[in-house]
Copies of this chain bind each other. A is one copy, B any other.
């Protein structure tokens, strides 16, 4: 089994690229996680995990990194695309938090409002007291082929 991570970092990136996957890849580089192997998961904050800056995480090049992320791409020039991620921190530090991700063809304020509300709903459904929501997001106006990316990276220290 894999050890449960104990730190997290919130990151975001946006970019153009010649293809959709290149635009995504460039967004990952822009976010500071572009030379790692991202393993997507759904999406809980381990109890007591501390927030770090992505530059303070020792992510091995090509290493296998668990994370939750929102992403969207588009090839429609002029269209806005946005990705946002929100982390709900519980009152009780022995309980897990919740990570929610959302993306849409929209400006960021709308997307980030929705993803924050999703965290509120997730805590309500769990009957768990919410101390604080941390969120991050990014919007991008498509030129020819663009992507946005927002993530909660989980790691170890």
Q: How far is the CB of A136 from chain B (nearest CB, A)?
A: 17
User: Within the complex, which residue of B1, B19, B45, B117 is in contact with A18, where a contact is CB–CB below 8 Å?
Assistant: B117
Closest to A155 in B: B1
- A4 in the interface (beta carbon within 8 A): yes
CA distance A29 to B97 in the complex (A): 13
* Contact indicator B44/A37 (Cβ below 8 Å): yes
| A64-B2 in contact given A39-B41, A96-B35 (Cβ < 8 Å) | yes
Closest to A64 in B: B2
User: Within the complex, which residue of B5, B37, B49, B126 is in contact with A29, where a contact is CB–CB below 8 Å?
Assistant: B126
Size of A's binding interface in residues, CB under 8 A: 54
* Contact indicator B61/A37 (Cβ below 8 Å): no
Closest to A67 in B: B37
CA distance A117 to B22 in the complex (A): 10
- A53 in the interface (beta carbon within 8 A): no
* Contact indicator B62/A21 (Cβ below 8 Å): no
Which residues in window 121-157 of A have CB below 8 A to B?
A: 121-122, 125-126, 154-156
- 28 A-B contact pairs sorted by A residue (CB < 8 Å): A1-B64, A2-B63, A2-B64, A4-B62, A5-B64, A18-B117, A18-B121, A19-B121, A21-B100, A21-B102, A21-B118, A25-B98, A26-B125, A29-B125, A34-B126, A35-B44, A35-B96, A37-B41, A37-B42, A37-B46, A38-B41, A38-B42, A39-B39, A39-B66, A41-B64, A46-B62, A61-B96, A62-B97
